[in-house]
Amino acid sequence: MGMLLGATLGLGLALVWDSFWPRRPRARVTRTTWQDRVSDDLAVARWSGVTPGGLVLATAALGVVTFVLTAGLTGVLPVAAAFGLIASGLPWAVLSGTSRRRRSRLRDAWPDCVDHVASGVRAGMALPEALAQLAVRGPEELRPAFAGFAHDYRATGRFHVSLDALKERLSDPVADRLVESLRIAREVGGSDLGVVLRTLSSFLREEAHTRSEMEARQSWTVNAARLGLAAPWIVLAMLATRGDSLAAYNSTTGALVLVLGGLVSVGAYLLMMRLGRIPQAERVLR
């Protein structure tokens, strides 16, 4: 009984002691899902009408068709399966390359875009008008998105709804920062918006210059990784044109060689890309 009373007293004292220390609120962590990343890539690449689920189905269908055709031509199922997997990965590679190249162009265009908005604000233009004029005077790469904003605003007259549509259309971290800065300025007012925009423009120029230098130095690593990944399978495709050269792979040992070769190729490629990876800005203001 004495031990129980002592434990209860100790627990009570610990709770009283803990109550004197303020609790820090935990920051909410926004995690980007696979579907969010693919949706952003599709929006940046301008693959309109394509959803992540639709892309998965299309790649699976392409892999199956390639497997059937290769099996019919060569009669070697392990080789057909290998080329089916390669074909199913091609749309993802095309999407990644397209979105990466367009992000590079957008990165170069954003400083001029922010400068145009800052000039419009400094000239006394309303915020919707300052954004809508980018459809005519802004950088070529961004004009379609801001033309969509101008159309949405004329159709609805709702600035915040049009901003949300612009964010989804661009799917870019810089667009998120610009949109939220303009949203706050619209809601609370203030005379510092021009200073904020000019500071953002200067930061974006420095970031674009630094990232361009890093990508130029990284390019040899990326090209070497791609060559190392593609070379064995190009040789295998060339062997497929020489009659019975693939007969050795139509066995358990041959299939094992293909599996191990695929694992080594993909593993080495992912390792080199990981070592040479440049961190990408996350969309924290979705």
The answer to the question of residue 149 being in a domain is yes
Number of domains the chain contains: 1
- Band of pLDDT at residue 2, cut at 50, 70 and 90: low
Contact 159, 153 (CB under 8 A): yes
State residue 243's pLDDT score: 63
The answer to the question of residue 262 being in a domain is no
Read off the pLDDT of residues 148-199 as tens digits, 9 standing for 90 and up: 999 989 888 888 889 888 888 888 888 888 888 888 877 776 667 778 888 8
- Band of pLDDT at residue 62, cut at 50, 70 and 90: very high
The answer to the question of residue 114 being in a domain is yes
The answer to the question of residue 186 being in a domain is yes
The answer to the question of residue 112 being in a domain is yes
Phi/psi of residue 191, nearest 5 degrees: -105, 5
The CB-based long-range contact list for 133-138 (8 Å cut-off, 24+ gap) reads 138/112, 138/113
The answer to the question of residue 91 being in a domain is no
The answer to the question of residue 151 being in a domain is yes
User: What is the reported pTM?
Assistant: 0.73
Name residue 52's amino acid.
P
- Band of pLDDT at residue 27, cut at 50, 70 and 90: very low
Domain of residue 136, residue span: 106-208
**pLDDT higher than threshold 60 for residue 29:** no
The answer to the question of residue 20 being in a domain is no
